[in-house]
Chain A
Amino acid sequence: MTDPTTAYWRGIRVSLPFLLVVLPFGALFGVVGTEAGLSLAQVMGFSIVIIAGAAQFTAVQLMQEQAPTVIVLASALAVNLRMAMYAASLAPHLGHAPGWQRVLIAYFNVDATYALSHMEYESNPEMPLNEKVAFYMGTATVICLPWYGVTWLGAVLGQAIPPGIPIDFAIPIAFISFFAPALRTFAHLAAAAAAVVLAVSLQWVPHNLWILIAGAGGMAAGAEVERRQAMK
């Protein structure tokens, strides 16, 4: 267990269960993107260039609603802001990797690759840098590379879904599956509740700006609850 090859394979092994989540989500994006009227190349463009499920669904949903381009961009990027936190928490472990490796690591930084790698580094602080990188690439091999293939499958096979199936509701359900399991603490619940109340009451705000206001308000509520709890 002391060489990069072993670390790479261990990264692959621990990631395999996550295929159960990655494969259906990628396929669902292919289906939803195609149903929304994107071409096969555009659907693949989303999954290869952006490679971030929640942000991809956000962009497609808002484009379907004819939101202004700036709002589409700002909202989808806001969904990805949590990855700045992932980058910061990986930095002590991977910050000294060569520049091109850090770009590759950044590209593959999704919830699962981050969570699995961070857990491994914390429980194995003595791990040398090259093994840490190899482990990370193992998780990326399993979690990120199939994303492209299943997006394509979803886009191609999705056209065969009979009309009458309420595919429009796949996006809300997918979103609920992103955040409901993450509502771990009272602060998380407060953030979600505040954001929902703001979103519903600010529907009159033009240009879909209510999304960003509600998001910022929810984040502030969560942060404030956490701060107060920490002071106790």
Chain B
Amino acid sequence: MTGWDSVTIWMVIAVLGIGTLAIRWSFLGLLGNRDLPGWALRHLRYTAVAILPALITPRVLWPAATGGETDPARLAAAALALAVGYVTRNALATIAAGLAALLLLQALGL
């Protein structure tokens, strides 16, 4: 991978592996039956719905593949995927809709 030597990549894999296992083990292995405080649970509940959209929105608005130029086809495909995911609650339908829309719009020359 450009800019990453093999040792660093394996280090990333190892640290993420150990860190992820530690998170998964935490309250199960170490703390046994102790309950998490309410405020902690309240925050943890929203990790995925906060970080994942934050990560992806700038890539949708300014894709690297177009050199950072906003691309109407990618924008429309992402918006459609979001709508389908929200309405159907179905991950596969979301992916299928988003990729199909992008391929179609690109084929139409948008």
Seen from chain A, the residues whose Cβ lies within 8 Å of a Cβ on chain B are 20-21, 24, 28, 36-39, 42, 45-46, 49-52, 54-55, 58-59, 61, 63-66, 69, 72-73, 75-88, 90-92, 94-96, 99, 102-103, 105-107, 109, 165-166, 168-183, 187-188, 191-192, 194-196, 198-200, 203, 210-211, 214-223, 226-227
Contact = CB atoms under 8 A, between A and B. Distances in A.
Interface in B21-73: 21, 23-29, 31-36, 39, 41-61, 63-65
B108 interface: no
Interface residues of B, number: 76
A83 B49 contact: no
A92 B42 CA distance: 19
Given A49-B16, A172-B56, A192-B53, A181 B21 contact: no
Contact of A87 (B26, B46, B53, B86): B26
A103 B85 CA distance: 33
A114 to B, nearest CB: 9
A134 to B, nearest CB: 17
Contacts of A54: 48, 52
B15 interface: yes
